[in-house]
Amino acid sequence: GAVVSQHPSWVICKSGTSVKIECRSLDFQATTMFWYRQFPKQSLMLMATSNEGSKATYEQGVEKDKFLINHASLTLSTLTVTSAHPEDSSFYICSARRTGGLGNTQYFGPGTRLTVL
Amino acid sequence: DAKTTQPNSMESNEEEPVHLPCNHSTISGTDYIHWYRQLPSQGPEYVIHGLTSNVNNRMASLAIAEDRKSSTLILHRATLRDAAVYYCILSRNQGGSEKLVFGKGTKLTVNP
């Protein structure tokens, strides 16, 4: 299967600081990546769709100025949580879409645990 | 987005087959059926996907009803490592705007 990595795997930061999370597709190029958030005992919630070379598309209720997404290359997308607060503490997961074959398949990264103190 | 309905939880015994059902009565002709599974504190893992025909891979089999309103993920011999939350998701490829919307999934417990 395809490999998607995330860095860091966990981060603890103080309230008011910004945190950047990287998502890389290691063995395929991805024009489209996705960012999800998962709170404890809940399912994944799609935050935004990241398209290489263009602006991200955010889901309803997700603040685009707070969650900055950059997809500057075919293998890297970044999510920056700006001015993080304790309520932003969550498990952030990215996925990369590999095209071709029977439909398109998304492959997920291992996730990044963000704790805001 | 077309919705799916799955049982909240299921139990199985180790080395026995497991059939995980999914209903998707509002599926459209261009919707693909995807299955992912997630272990605690990990990202979802791709399991299998299909459109109309049954599909097999090294992890599982996907049986799709003739009317496509339901499907079943089959794990042929459950192991303890198969214990996870399994998600059945429909995706629609519309000019590259395809996205996956996760429901609550089925929590599979595998007994030794």
What gap in Å lies between CA B74 and CA B65, rounded to an integer? 13
Specify the DSSP element, H or E, that contains B65.
none
* Residue pair B49/B93 in contact by the 8 Å Cβ criterion: no
What is the residue-averaged pLDDT of chain A? 93
Across the interface, which of B93, B96, B101 has its CB nearest the CB of A46?
A: B101
Chain B touched by A107 (CB under 8 Å): yes
Q: Is the pLDDT of residue B1 over 70?
A: no
CA distance A20 to A62: 17
Rg, C-alpha atoms of chain B: 14
For A1-5, A14-18, B97-101, which range has the lowest pLDDT when averaged over its residues? B97-101
Which positions ≥6 away from B94 have C-beta within 8 Å? Answer: B30
Kindly determine whether residue B43 and residue A106, on different chains, have CB atoms separated by under 8 Å: no
| 3-state secondary structure at position B82 | helix
C-alpha to C-alpha distance for B60 and B82, rounded to whole angstroms: 11
Average pLDDT score over residue span A25-53: 93
User: What pLDDT does B94 receive?
Assistant: 60
Q: Contact B46/A44, CB-based, under 8 Å? A: no
pLDDT at position A1 is 64
Question: What does the block give as tokens for B9?
Answer: 């939880």
Q: What is the token pair recorded at B21?
A: 């059902």
Distance from CA of A82 to the nearest CA of B (A): 23
* Inter-chain CB proximity B91 and A103 less than 8 Å: yes
Nearest C-alpha neighbor of A79 from the set A60, A58, A102, A100: A58
Q: CB–CB of A67/A48 below 8 Å?
A: yes
Summarize pLDDT for B46-95 with one digit per residue, the tens. Answer: 999 999 999 999 999 999 999 999 999 999 999 999 999 999 999 876 65
A31 token code pair = 């024009």
- In chain A, the percentage of residues whose pLDDT exceeds 90 is 81
Residue-level pLDDT at B2? 64
**The pLDDT of residue B99:** 82
At B21-30, the pLDDT tens digits run: 999 999 988 8
pLDDT for the residue numbered B91: 86
pLDDT surpasses 90 at B111: yes
Q: What is the pLDDT of residues A61-93, one digit of tens each?
A: 999 999 999 998 999 999 999 999 999 999 999
Task: Say whether pLDDT at A45 is over 80.
Answer: yes
Establish if A68 touches chain B: CB-CB under 8 angstroms: no
CB contact under 8 A, B100 and A46: yes
Model pLDDT, residue B93: 65
